[in-house]
Structure 1
Amino acid sequence: MTSIQKKIWLLASVVLSIMAAIWIALTYYNQKSQDQYNDILQRYLRMNEVTIASQQLVAALNNYLRSPTPKQMEELQAREDTLRQTKFEVQSLRNTDNDFELSNYVHLIDSLVGTTDRSLLLFQEEKDAEASGKAFSEATRIAMYISEMTLTLIDKELNTYDRFYRGIIEQSEALKRLGMWLLLLITFLLALFTYWFSLSITRPVLTLIQAAKELSRGRFDLKIEVASNDEISFLAKMFDRMRININNLIVEIQEKAQLEKELQQSKLLLQESQLRSLQSQINPHFLFNTLDTISKKAYLEGSEETSDLLVNVADLLRYNLKRLDRSVTLYDEVRVLRQYIEIQMARFSERLQFYTEIDESCLHVQMPGLTLQPIVENAVIHSIEPREEGGVIWFRVIDGPDRVTLEIEDDGPGIADHKVRGIMEEHTFETEGHSTGIGFSNVVKRLRLFYGIPDVLDIESVAGSGTKIVLKLPKIRGSEAYVQDLDRG
């Protein structure tokens, strides 16, 4: 772990430790208060359960006396067991403040259970309905006393825990004040620690920035020193070593300047001879003008076909010289391709058959110059020239949602698998001597560089069954799509 990473981890550890300590303390006091609240609430609920159980017991006894069925008897026994259980739970609430009242409370519960049993006994065994009714009335009064005693005990509990409630409120206020002071203290300490931490990183960086400014002004004699024990110190040492190397290099350059001056004089003499040689070469414009003159002369002499052929050759040469380093539209490429095919048809006559299926709406798509002609030329050289009967070439332009598909297909002998792999991997082994001087692999490379994606060309070839070259041209190049996304955003 690097020194800067250690500092960052130290800062994160301090912050996390403080946050964890505060969270643990707040959680502890909150849980403590919550447990106390829950304990008091359980006391109230247990007392209230006694009232509910006593009333349910009286109601169950009344139902049985009216309709003495086994089901009513089971309900009465269940209510009586519930009341006995609540009595044991209430006894656990005894303290010094409610000892007397709670003892009377328990006696009332026992009296209610005994009165209920006596009423039931008189009704079942002695068949004395009047005495059983009196016992039931007494049980009803005891249940009312239990309800009143419950309210008395709850009131007693409220008086007993009044100080406790006030203590909890005061404790909450004290915790709030303590939290505010802790927050201010922690904020102050973290600010100091962060300031120290930032200085330990920014001071060396500022020193390096100042040194870089001096170097940009050409002062290579100032030593760079950084007083730290981290990666920035190592970077400063390397920066100083670079300064020394540059200074030494400048001295070497100055020493070699004189030698370079002498060499320049000899190069000037050589360049003069090269210029004279270049002046003797044919000017391309002179060549174009000459071809145009020959074309017009042939037209005036009645050789219209020869005139058209010369015009196509001149346009093709002009396009090849001007369009190799820039993008063009598919319309321009198709136009030049047709001129090239007219030249080849004049050469091969009926041996070459060329068919097109072009979607005119796609001709605005941008693409690298000189893309279609080298591919078709490759088909002419390998599929038309070697065969006495000639062959057929198909050219198709198909529109798609995101891409325009161009298909160039021939019925030649096909391309071997290892050559297909070589072309897709941009290896150069095609036949030299093409009129454009551009190989198939060069076309693949230029397409990938132009669109910025590798999936732009496929080759489908079967030995003896011809070859199909499929170009998948995006309608929008990668950089243009990025700009359009920014505009929409």
Structure 2
Amino acid sequence: MKTIRNKMMLLSLIIWIIMAFIWISMSIFNQRTVEKYNGILQRYLLMNQASELSRQALTSLNEYRISPTEDRLRRYVADNNQLLRTKLDMRALRNADNGMLLDNFQNMVESQSEAMDLAVRFQREHDEEAVSAQFDEASNISAYIAETTLTLISGEQRTYDAFYRQIIRRSDEIKTLGFWALAFVSVLLLLFSYRFVSGVTRPILKLTQSARELSRGNFQNPIVVHRNDDMAFLAKTLDSMRLNIGSLFDEIQSKAQLEYDLHKHKLMLKESELKSLQSQINPHFLFNTLNMLSKEAYLAGAGKTSELISSVAGMLRYNLRRMDSRVTLREEIDVLEEYLAIQQARFGDRVRVVREIDEAALDVEVPILILQPLVENAFIYAIEPSEDGGTLTLRVRGEAGRVIVEVRDDGPGMAPEKLGGLLADPDPAERRGHATGIGLRNVLDRLQLFFGAENLLAIDSAIGAGTRITLTLPREASA
């Protein structure tokens, strides 16, 4: 499968090859031109060097005449030897146009060297007249060498004038070649770019149109792209997603209809159950009856009985509220006191309640009926089974951003495997005879839904060490 990445790499490779070819061609041409130009420049430099060495050797000889020391003699010998070596090097300058002139130039160099050597010999023999004659002859020859050098250089300029013109002509050709190469590369890039962009944008436009149809809920039109690259794979994936979404949409519609029918059935069932309960007893009638009995007991002098009946009536009124109601922790503590009053009347001295309550922490909002189930568990597992009863400790304290509620008993405790059962749904037989019948699982679920957080309830227990249930309540609810 040809991917878009491979196409881009191929386009980049083609451009690189073209640019590399142009660069290499121009580099080779430029290198050859530079080498030719350097060769001509070296010829000029060699000719000029011969003339300069001729004058330098003559100067060294003159210095030796004035002060015939060994050091000046060695300097003259070195300059003369270098002049002779240059004469040999000038053989490479021979061509069809300067052969005779170059032979004459080399002969003059050799003659100057011989005349200077004779002058040195006569200097050692102290023949001043002969030294002067040889020095004058060498000076004349050096002047001829300078003139011949200019003649040779002038001839070289005429010889390579055509080369210079060729360099200028090739420079113009290079400019023209560069222009056409740029035009060719530009046209080639335009063609490749057009095909590449068209090959990418056409499938994208088709996929965009298909995505727009999907967003409108039209899952009937198939998505097909006739290519062999990433776009074809994307089209197949999008078409597969179209089929899956369509199937899922139909399934959701079916489930929604089924849930609607089920919900309607449950509403009808609850309505019938409510009517059945209302036909058995009216809770408000029972609440009013309990209040009346409490007043009658008080008037009859049974104060404790009146308080118990008032506690039951208060609990009944509180428990008749909706389970999604918001209450304050203070209200929960108040109704819990009603429950504890009934239990203390029931168990007498067998139950002891320790309260450590921070009044400043009681204004936090909580779901209804979250404390009474915790205390019920203490009575079920710790106080009722024990002949001596037990001690129940209720602690409420405020911390930064949260309120901590602890319900602790000094009962026999529970094994780890039994702790998990506390968070399961309550056993109706086990809960029979208790006020709420609400399990810890229900409390935990309602707390998590109310506060929108996890880890709000923790249970610590061990065999023989009692049980502690801790609630960590944020100061503010999520909703």
CA contact (8 A) 1:115 1:139 kept: yes
**Using the alignment, how far apart are the partners of 1:259 and 1:24 within structure 2?**
77
Give TM-score, length-normalised by structure 1.
0.60
Structure 1 residues 163 and 219, CA gap change in structure 2 (3 angstroms): same
Deviations 1:350-379 (A, max 9, x none): xxxxxxxxxxxxxxxxxxx965768xx89x
Q: Match for residue 279 of structure 1?
A: 322
Where 1:436 maps in the other structure, the secondary structure is strand
Q: Distance in 2 between matches of 1:373 and 1:260?
A: 39
Deviation string for 1:255-292 (max 9, x for gaps)?
A: 3343222211244468889998543788535937999x
Question: What's 1:174 paired with?
Answer: 173
Report the equivalent of 2:385. none
AA of the residue aligned to 1:259: L
Matched with 1:313 is 359
1:182-221 pair list within 5 angstroms: 182-221=181-220
User: What is the aligned partner in structure 1 of residue 160 from structure 2?
Assistant: 161
- Conservation of the 8 A alpha-carbon contact between 2:118 and 2:134: yes
Correspondence for 1:413: none
1:203: how far off? 1.7
Map 1:62-461 onto structure 2 (within 5 A): 62-124=62-124, 126-268=125-267, 278-279=321-322, 283-285=326-328, 287=330, 313-314=359-360, 316-318=361-363, 433-434=469-470, 436-437=472-473
Deviation for aligned residue 1:254: 3.5
Matches of 1:62 and 1:269, distance apart in 2: 138
- Taking a change above 3 Å as real, the CA distance of residues 256 and 4 of structure 1, as seen in their structure-2 partners, is same
- TM-score of the aligned structures, taking structure 2 as reference length: 0.61
Q: Return the offset for 1:123.
A: 1.5
| Inter-CA distance 282–158: structure 2 relative to 1 (3 Å threshold) | closer
Cα offset, 1:317, TM superposition? 3.8
Q: 2:216 and 2:62 mapped to 1: Cα distance?
A: 109
1:43-74 residue CA offsets vs partner (Å, 9 max, x unmatched): 11001110111111011111111222221111
How many residues were matched structurally? 325
Deviation at 1:11, TM superposition (A): 0.7
- Residue 13 of structure 1 corresponds to 13
Please state whether the residue corresponding to 2:95 is helix, strand or coil. coil
Deviations 1:454-485 (A, max 9, x none): xxxxxxxxxxxxxxxxxxxxxxxxxxxxxxxx
Distance 1:21 1:429, change over 3 A: farther
Q: What secondary structure is seen at the aligned counterpart in 2 of 1:222? A: coil
Change over 3 Å in CA distance of 1:231–1:289 after alignment to 2: closer
Go from structure 1 to structure 2 and tell me whether the alpha carbon gap of 1:283 and 1:203 turns closer, same or farther (over 3 Å shift).
Answer: closer
Q: Which amino acid aligns with 2:87?
A: K
Residue 413 of structure 2 is matched in structure 1 by: none
Partner of 1:474: none
Inter-partner Cα distance in structure 2 for 1:4 and 1:284: 63
Amino acid at match of 2:261: E
Partner in structure 2 of residue 41 of structure 1: 41
Structure 1 residue 220: Cα displacement: 1.0
Could you say if the C-alpha distance between residues 265 and 155 of structure 1 is closer, same or farther in structure 2, counting changes exceeding 3 Å? same
Alpha-carbon deviation of 1:188?
Answer: 0.5
Counterpart CA distance in 2 for 1:20 and 1:239 is: 42
Structure 2 CA distance for partners of 1:436 and 1:271, relative to 1, 3 Å: farther
Q: CA shift at 1:207, angstroms?
A: 1.3
1:371–1:111: structure 2 CA closer, same or farther, 3 Å change rule? farther
8 A contact 1:320–1:436 mirrored in 2: no
- Offset, 1:77: 1.0
Which whole-Å deviations, capped at 9, do the CAs of 1:92-119 have from their partners, x for residues lacking one? Answer: 1011111121111111101110101111
Listed one character per residue, the Cα deviations across residues 379-403 of structure 1 (whole Å, up to 9, x for unaligned) are xx9xxxxxxxxxxxxxxxxxxxxxx
Change in 2 beyond 3 A, CA 1:257/1:429: closer
How far did residue 196 of structure 1 move?
A: 0.7
Code of the residue aligned with 2:58 in structure 1: it is: V
Change (3 A) 1:85 1:249: same
For the residue of structure 1 that corresponds to 2:93, the secondary structure is coil
C-alpha separation in 1, matches of 2:221 and 2:154 = 88
Give the Cα separation in 1 of the matches to 2:7 and 2:26: 29
Using a 3 Å threshold, how does the CA distance of structure 1 residues 56 and 224 change in structure 2: closer, same or farther? same
Indicate if the aligned counterparts of 2:51 and 2:149 stay in contact, CA closer than 8 A: yes
Cα distance change on mapping 1:157 and 1:313 into 2, 3 Å: same
Residue of structure 2 equivalent to 1:301: none
Matches of 1:319 and 1:276 in 2, distance apart? Answer: 20
SS at match of 1:284: strand
**Equivalent residue letter for 1:436:** T
SS in 1 for 2:126: coil
Q: Distance in 2 between matches of 1:35 and 1:430?
A: 94
Which protein has the larger Cα radius of gyration, Structure 1 or Structure 2? 2
Q: Which amino acid in structure 2 is aligned with residue 161 of structure 1?
A: Y
Distance in 1 separating the partners of 2:247 and 2:156: 94
**Partner Cα distance (1:137, 1:52) in 2:** 18
The superposition leaves residues 300-331 of structure 1 with CA deviations (integer Å, 9 ceiling, x where unpaired) of xxxxxxxxx98x623x3446879xxxxxxxxx
Is the contact between residue 330 and residue 363 of structure 2 (CA under 8 Å) also seen in structure 1? Answer: no
- Post-superposition offset of 1:133: 1.4
Q: 1:250 to 1:277 in 2, by over 3 A?
A: farther
Alignment identity in percent?
Answer: 39
* Distance across 1 between alignment mates of 2:252 and 2:178: 69
> Which residue identity lines up with residue 18 of structure 2 in the other structure?
I
Q: Which segments of 5 or more consecutive residues in structure 2 lack a partner in the other structure?
A: 275-317, 335-355, 368-394, 409-454, 461-467, 475-479
- Residue 227 of structure 1 aligns to a residue whose secondary structure is coil
Distance in 2 of aligned mates of 1:138 and 1:203: 93
Superposed displacement of residue 20, structure 1:
0.4
Is contact 1:56-1:79 (8 Å) kept? yes
2:50 and 2:86 in contact (8 A); partners too: yes
State the Cα deviation string for residues 426-477 of structure 1 (Å, max 9, x = none). Answer: 9x98956445347xxxxxxxxxxxxxxxxxxxxxxxxxxxxxxxxxxxxxxx
Partner of 1:463: none
Q: Could you tell me whether the CA contact under 8 Å between 1:224 and 1:240 is conserved in 2?
A: yes
* Gapped regions of structure 1 (runs ≥ 5): 292-308, 323-346, 348-368, 382-425, 439-489
- CA distance in structure 1 between the aligned counterparts of 2:120 and 2:145, rounded to whole angstroms: 20
CA RMSD of aligned residues (A): 3.5
Q: CA deviation at 1:8?
A: 1.6
1:3 Cα deviation (Å)? 2.3
Asked if the contact 1:2–1:230 (Cα under 8 Å) also holds between the matched residues in 2, the reply is yes
The residue type paired with residue 93 of structure 1 is L
